[in-house]
Amino acid sequence: MKIHQPYGLEDCLTLLSELPPDATVILAGGTDLMPRYEQGRILPNNLINIKHLTELQGITETENGIEIGGLTTIEALQHSDLIRQEYPALWRSTAQFAGVQIRNRATLAGNIANASPAGDTLPSLYLYHAKLKLVSRHASRTTRLEDFLVGPGQTTQEPGELIQSIILPKVSGSSCFYKLGLRDAMAISVVNYALRYSNAEDGELTDLEITAGAVAPTIVFLDALTTAILGGETNIAAWQALIEQDIAPIDDIRASADYRRKVLGRLISHHLQRLGVGSHE
């Protein structure tokens, strides 16, 4: 295995364009990648360590929101006042992300590229309508995150492409993230969700979006529920069925599909009730 450690984006993209895609792997934090090799998979002939690319680092405020360099670590997000104040759901998800050793290495782009249905940062990024800036040697493009992630471990990333940054538009209203794991730290989500809402001055809900993770092949928007609620559906008994329209959970080692369906409904209903939405009639 050859290890390539480019110090500039251009060098990196050149390398990416020249090396055979099926024998080349990009290494960022390595926290998802390396355990797979430990478990028996053979390392690629070419490994490109991109951690030295300064072009992919840092959190920048822009006119319309923020731009987060793909190599920004989860720990850096956790220590960012900007993220904590403006994107609290994302900030909360970084606080509950693995342990400090992983947070110090894992990158936001890596969490996206890994495309786990349970990826902790993903429901918040969906909620904030994140876009990705992808670059390759001769081109760059911007795509919506929800178009980039297509299934467990599957993305629309092209050979030779890198996630340069994650773009979050300005957000209105309040937002938060909730994760249910099987222990209080170092847990993979059984279900997770992010929720954003705005109120009018009289307190009436004017805007509501909810995304949920670990309940479908990718993150989902609970559109049936939020549309109904914004349309006046306040009967909590009706909500469960609305949630289930948008999810397709599976049984795995952590929980059954049935439990995931049930518990997501209970958590979200409870949450909305605390916001003053819904009644039992």
Partner 1 sequence: MSEKFHHIGKSLPRVDAPGKVSGLTRFITDMHFDSMVFAYPVVSPIAFGALDGVDISPARKMPGFLGAWFAGDIPGENQVGVILPDQPLFAQDKLRFVGDAIGIVAAETEVDAISAARSVKIDTTPREPILSINASKMATGKKIHENNIACEHRLERGDIQAGFADADVVVEADLVTPYQEHFYLEPQGCIVVPQGDAFTVYGSIQCVFYVQKAIAKVLGISFSKVRVIQTPTGGAFGGKEDIPSEMCARAAVAAWHLQRPVKMIYRRRDDVQWTSKRHPFQMHYKVGVSKTGKLLSADIILEENAGAYATLSSVVSYRATMQAMGPYAIPNIQVHSTSYYTNLPPTGAFRGFGSPQATFGHERMMDILADRLGMDPVEFRLKNILKPGQETQTGHALSTSVGAEATLLKSANAAEWQTDARPMVSKDGRYREALGVSVCHYGNCLGAAGWSMDGAGVKIQINRDGSIAVAFGLIEMGQGALTVVTQMTAEALGVNAERISILPTDTSQVPDSGPSVASRNIVMTGNAIRNAVEKLKPILSTAAAEAMECAPENVAFQNDQVVNTKSGNALSISALCEYLYVTNRPMDALGWWHVPALTYDAQTGRGEAYFTYSYATHIARVQVDTLTGQVRVQKVWAAHDVGKIINPAGLAGQVQGGVVQGAGWAIYENFGHDNAGRITTPNLSTYLLPTAADSVDVQAFWIEDPEPLGPWGAKGIGEPAIIPTAAAIANAVSRIVGQPMNQIPLTPERVLVAFEDKVVHE
Partner 2 sequence: MLHVNTTEWFDLEVIINGRHIRASIPTHLRLLDFLRENLRLTGAKEVCGEGECGACTVLLDGKAVNSCLILAAECHGATILTVEGLQSAAGMDDLQEAFIRDHAVQCGYCIPGMILSAEELLTHTPHPDREQIRHALAGNICRCTGYQKVVDAVENSAKKR
- Positions that interact with partner 1 (CB under 8 A): 39, 99, 180, 182-188, 190, 253, 255-256, 259, 262-263, 266-267, 270, 274
Nearer to partner 2, 43 or 238 (CB): 43
CA dihedral sign, ordered 42, 72, 90, 128: negative
**Distance of CA 158 to CAs 139, 142, 151, Å?**
11, 13, 15
**What is the contact surface with partner 2 in residues (CB under 8 A)?**
1-3, 5, 27, 30-31, 34-35, 37-43, 45, 47, 49, 51, 75, 98-102, 104-105, 184-186
Cα 184 vs. chain centroid, distance in angstroms?
A: 20
Least CB distance to partner 1 at residue 120 (A)? 14
- Number of Cβ atoms within 10 Å of the Cβ of 115: 21
* Element housing 198 (H / E): strand 191-199
Nearer to partner 1, 184 or 202 (CB): 184
Nearer to partner 1, 24 or 189 (CB): 189
- Number of Cβ atoms within 10 Å of the Cβ of 140: 13
Least CB distance to partner 2 at residue 121 (A)? 17
Least CB distance to partner 1 at residue 132 (A)? 27
Least CB distance to partner 2 at residue 238 (A)? 38
Least CB distance to partner 2 at residue 201 (A)? 37
- Which pair of tokens denotes residue 70? 């793909």
- Find which of partner 1, partner 2, none residue 137 binds, CB within 5 to 8 Å per kind: none
Query: Of 247, 236, 227, which is closest to residue 275 (Cα–Cα)?
Result: 236
- Find which of partner 1, partner 2, none residue 30 binds, CB within 5 to 8 Å per kind: partner 2
Query: Of 67, 91, 73, which is closest to residue 28 (Cα–Cα)?
Result: 73
Angle, nearest 10°, between helix axes 236-245 and 257-274?
Answer: 130
- Find which of partner 1, partner 2, none residue 34 binds, CB within 5 to 8 Å per kind: partner 2
Nearer to partner 2, 99 or 203 (CB): 99
